[in-house]
Structure 1
């Protein structure tokens, strides 16, 4: 895949689950086939917003791997990822992995899967360290997020009007690689692509963006906007955003994909050093090889 290829999609205007999240998750599932040894257990971080169709595909590829779910709205996430009654009565699935369980702070898995979540975290390096703590030694992280070229057409519209940016600045993939290393990961592999979505008008475009996330820009307008301002926004989008040959509005999203491994920990031992038992076992295994 050409990492800088622009891909244009004709699509329905609005859906209950963001189409972009499902599409990116689908491409992540294809990348999962790159690993020679399938993970024996995994954790899905925010599966409802990350893509339920991809969740089902991973469960199909890893039928024997226990799955744990981590989410702010945990009951909703567990309900959405629960095995269907039809699956429970399928003899071919008896004895295999059961419905996902709630993740706890002590949960450790071979793979942590996080689709389109990292760019919405105000303290991303703190989140990366949390993810690292959930992954077993020699396990790995797979994630995706928005890159800095996202919404460039909309940013230009806001700049022309003298408004604060429509979203916070998104992090470059090279900076994500550095943060992964600083958070305890090793061998980070990053790539990106640009996806250009088309919309029939400004209203469905804004509805889609509301479903994709929130604006973390520190200098954003803090009050409630008026109907008059909203009308100006719609007019500005219709007048200034680029259009496809068929007249549909175009908006670019840069998608960053990454994966990284959790290596055998290296700890400077001292008289008061505390090392988790799992890490101690991993260090001892490493010394024998």
Structure 2
């Protein structure tokens, strides 16, 4: 069986500098769509037979503060490690997600810790709607892989390539640059997971159509979700004339027939799930194995 091809380390249509800037400046409230996707992904945990005793919530401020409460309710006795990678949102994470001083969770069972989780310690890593805005997705997947313990699993979601297809068609028809960078297909995410060292990746996808009462409300929602990171995006600010044309074109081209002029946008949501297997040493005349991997292999060999 042929091995998966080595994926590109960075999405070809993403401005890495702009992506890093957006990650630092993104507003703190979790967007409505992020919360809804997290709620749907949380429902998929019912198929996980063994509850984790420790789990990491990756970038919860943007990924879903309401969803965090659902996860805490599902795993009340598990240690929760909160990793917020944007310094500007770390204070928000602590203020919002720290247990109350009188809570028993501070002293036993489901304690909450903040900061980078020690490598090889988490049984579940939860990352909602973060991967599609990262300029180095393979590095991020590798970081998640290092954080997980052997037999731990990753749960993530992100946007797929059919996202904003109506807006892309509008921009293309008017001869404008693309309204966003291209999002990665779920099959490519599966290849990247395997290439990073994950096993048994399970990828799933659904499309969510959101409707808006006005073009202004539609654009406001998009600003809350992210920014256009395409390298060939508009290079400068546009004037009032362009903005008025954009509003007019959205009203005309995105209106759904027989729905009182509601404006529709498609979002493709990708869900991913994969395990971290026991590491294997490649057969060679000389092999190097990390101490962490050696311990994991020894633990696996002693199990019946």
What band does the TM-score fall into relative to the shorter chain?
A: 0.7 to 0.9
Determine the structure 2 residue equivalent to 1:4: none
Cα 1:108–1:222 change in 2 (3 A) is farther
Cα 1:26–1:239 change in 2 (3 A) is same
Q: Deviations over 1:192-228 (max 9, x none)?
A: 1110001011101011001111222121112222222
Secondary structure at the counterpart of residue 96 of structure 1: coil
Cα 1:16–1:110 change in 2 (3 A) is closer
1:110 paired with 2:123, answer yes
Cα 1:107–1:80 change in 2 (3 A) is farther
Q: Which runs of 5+ in 1 are unaligned?
A: 1-14
Equivalent residue runs for 1:157-172 within 5 Å? 157-172=170-185
Aligned residue among 278, 284, 293 for 1:264: 278
Q: Deviations over 1:162-205 (max 9, x none)?
A: 11110111111111101100011000001111100010111010
1:224 paired with 2:230, answer no
Q: Which runs of 5+ in 2 are unaligned?
A: 1-27
- Does the 8 Å contact 1:81/1:100 carry over to 2? no
Separation in structure 1 between the aligned mates of residue 46 and residue 293 of structure 2, nearest angstrom: 28
Secondary structure at the counterpart of residue 211 of structure 1: helix
Determine the structure 2 residue equivalent to 1:285: 299
Q: Deviations over 1:96-117 (max 9, x none)?
A: 3223322256473111100000
Report the TM-score, using the length of structure 2 for normalisation: 0.83
Determine the structure 2 residue equivalent to 1:68: 81
Equivalent residue runs for 1:213-252 within 5 Å? 213-243=226-256, 245-252=259-266
Separation in structure 2 between the aligned mates of residue 78 and residue 92 of structure 1, nearest angstrom: 15
1:211 paired with 2:224, answer yes
Report the TM-score, using the length of structure 1 for normalisation: 0.87
- Does the 8 Å contact 2:157/2:271 carry over to 1? yes
1:101 paired with 2:118, answer no
Secondary structure at the counterpart of residue 264 of structure 2: strand
Following superposition, the deviation at residue 270 of structure 1 comes to 6.9
The number of aligned residues is 272
What is the alpha-carbon root mean square deviation over aligned residues?
Answer: 2.1
Secondary structure at the counterpart of residue 100 of structure 1: strand
Q: Deviations over 1:103-146 (max 9, x none)?
A: 25647311110000000011111111111111111000000000
Per mean C-alpha deviation after superposition, the further-off stretch among 104-113 and 257-266 is 104-113
